[in-house]
Amino acid sequence: MNAHIHPFGTVRGRHAGMTLIELLVAMIIGVVVSLAIFAVLSASEGRKRTTTSVNDINQSGNYSMYVVEKLLRSAGSGYSSGVTISGFPTAYPFGCAVYSKNAAGQVLPVPSTLPAPFAALDSGTGTKGLFRLAPVLIIPGGTTPSISGGQSDVLVIMAGASGGAQVATNFSNFPTASSLLLGNVIDFAANDVVMIADAQGKSTGVRQDCMIQQVASGTPSGTTLNLGGDYYGGTIGTATITNYSDQSGVFNLGNVKNGNPPTFALLGVGDNNTLYSYDLIRTTTDPLVPVADGVFEMHARYGIDTSGDGTIDQWVAPDVTTGDYTIANLMAGNEKASDSIRRIKAVRVGLILRTSLPERTDAAAGVFVAENQVQMFKDLATYSASSASSASSAASSGASSSSSSAGTCAASKTGDLIFTRCLTDAERAYRYRVIEATIPLRNML
């Protein structure tokens, strides 16, 4: 017989157990199946991480551009038009040095170092911490984000938020230390934040300083606008109210107490791929605010109306070294600078977004996630100031594009309208997205 009774009563057969060979085969099959499952799970998880990271930078980029566009569309509101003083240019506030204070003391010119990422920011005025009035100013290479390691532009945006007319109310007589004598005060309410600008300018040909002040808490009436509150100061730095002439005007910029403050802001990319904003006139407790993450670099270009017909016929890179639109010439504070500021009708802004997690690459095999360069503003080459620079920019773009597969990259040169950011092999392990927008300055049109 082929079977026998086990002592405990069970029946044991010759073929009831698994042989060693069968066990090894089963283990091999199990290992192969497990490896296949793990490979599928790993690929799926990798795609999930990639999809999530790309979705994150898409959302971050869209929100960042929304914030930038919202601020730029309001640039210049409250003071950029409607100046009616006879014999003086309509752009006389542009280029004035801005002086301001809050409850803690002077805030403009900045009496101390700005916080990161703006600590090394050069406003182009030649005086650290001094900013001159302009609806928008692009400071080329204003920040150097740690992750990028390259230079990223900074936007300086100045706008009122009163929601009222942009016509200045002219002085009817010389001011006192705490009151302005006007034709009427119907455009002002208690606690409004206002700006004083003098059309006469200084004897040196430079614009007279502008002072941000505040209407006193009482309801204005008659022809006297009394000043008081946290943003009032008879003297701020070297600017004094009583030094203004009777050819001055006062502009309503908004009201801090009702949640509608003016915007005097910096926008720039800092460490950890974060876009930051900073409130220059300190209307909030914490003026430095992270806007969004995932922003690798920011770059911008000016849209210029050279003919005065209200249309853009030239684009200019902010890092040009000659001409009316160098940072130094725009911030010179004279009549020429004011006219140049007035001709800026739009800004082209580009954001480079980067995913947070690296992916697998093989440099030896030439396998990378990203191309060896990121480009923006490629369509602006035809707007160069000269055909020669246009051809140069276009040629540079073509060379960069055609050489991408060969592993070379031609980085942007100073003054190029097309921006090219070359990527290292390590940087090519990430995914990038470029968002661009042409934003008209509607208060300048």
Q: Residue-wise pLDDT tens for the chain (445 aa)? A: 454 555 545 545 555 567 888 888 888 888 888 888 877 766 666 666 667 788 899 999 999 999 999 999 999 999 987 555 566 666 789 999 999 999 999 999 999 999 999 999 999 999 999 999 999 999 999 999 999 999 999 999 999 997 755 678 999 999 999 999 999 999 999 999 999 999 998 988 899 999 999 999 999 999 999 999 999 999 999 999 999 999 999 999 999 998 899 999 999 999 999 999 999 999 999 999 999 999 999 999 999 999 888 899 999 999 999 999 999 999 999 999 999 999 999 999 999 999 998 988 999 999 999 999 999 999 997 765 433 343 334 444 443 333 344 468 999 999 999 999 999 999 999 999 999 999 999 988 8
CA distance 164 to 221: 18
pLDDT for 396 equals 41
Backbone angles phi, psi at 189, to 5 degrees: -130, 170
Interior/surface letters 155-176, b for 16+ CB within 10 angstroms, e for the rest: bbbbbbbbebebebbbbeeebe
| CA dist., res. 434 & res. 19, Å (int) | 62
The Cα–Cα gap between 161 and 185 comes to: 18
- Which amino acid does the sequence have at 385? A
Give me 344's structure tokens: 């800026």
pTM: 0.86
Residues 6+ apart with CB under 8 A from 403: 409, 410
| Angstrom distance (rounded) from CA 160 to CA 253 | 4
Rounded CA separation 200/83 (Å): 13
What is the bridge-based pairing of β-strands 210-214 and 98-102? parallel
> Residues with Cβ < 8 Å from 392, sequence gap 6 or more?
416
Q: Which residues contact 205 (CB under 8 A, 6 or more apart)?
A: 334, 335
Asked if the bond preceding 117 is cis, omega within 30° of 0, the reply is yes
| Residue boundaries of the structural domains of the chain | 53-162+261-357+430-444
| Encoded amino acid at 121, one letter | L
Length of the chain equals 445
CA gap 21, 18 in Å, rounded: 8
Q: Which amino acid is at 144?
A: T
CB 123 within 8 A of CB 331: yes
Distance CA 61, CA 64 (A): 5
**Position 421: which residue type?**
R
pLDDT at 37: 80
Token pair in block for residue 347: 């800004």
4 forms bridges with which residues in the sheet?
12
SS3 string of 370-432? CCCEEEECHHHHHHCCCHHHHHHHHHHHHHHHHCCCCCCCCCCCCCCCCEEEECCCCHHHCCE
* CA–CA dist 437, 350 (Å, integer): 7
DSSP secondary structure letters along 124-193: SSSSTT--B--SEEEEEEEE--TTT-S-EEEEEEEE----S--PPEEBSS---SSEEEBS--TT--TTEE
Angstrom distances, CA of residue 18 to CA of 5, 26, 28, 398, 399: 20, 10, 15, 69, 69
Distance CA 373, CA 362 (A): 17
**Helix H or strand E encompassing 336:** helix 335-342
Tokens of 436: 């661009």
What Rg do the C-alpha atoms of the chain give, in angstroms?
31
Largest Cα separation within the chain, whole Å, is: 129
Q: Which amino acid is at 113?
A: T
Is residue 123 a contact partner of residue 142, using CB atoms and an 8 Å limit? Answer: no
Bridge partners, residue 226, by sequence: 179
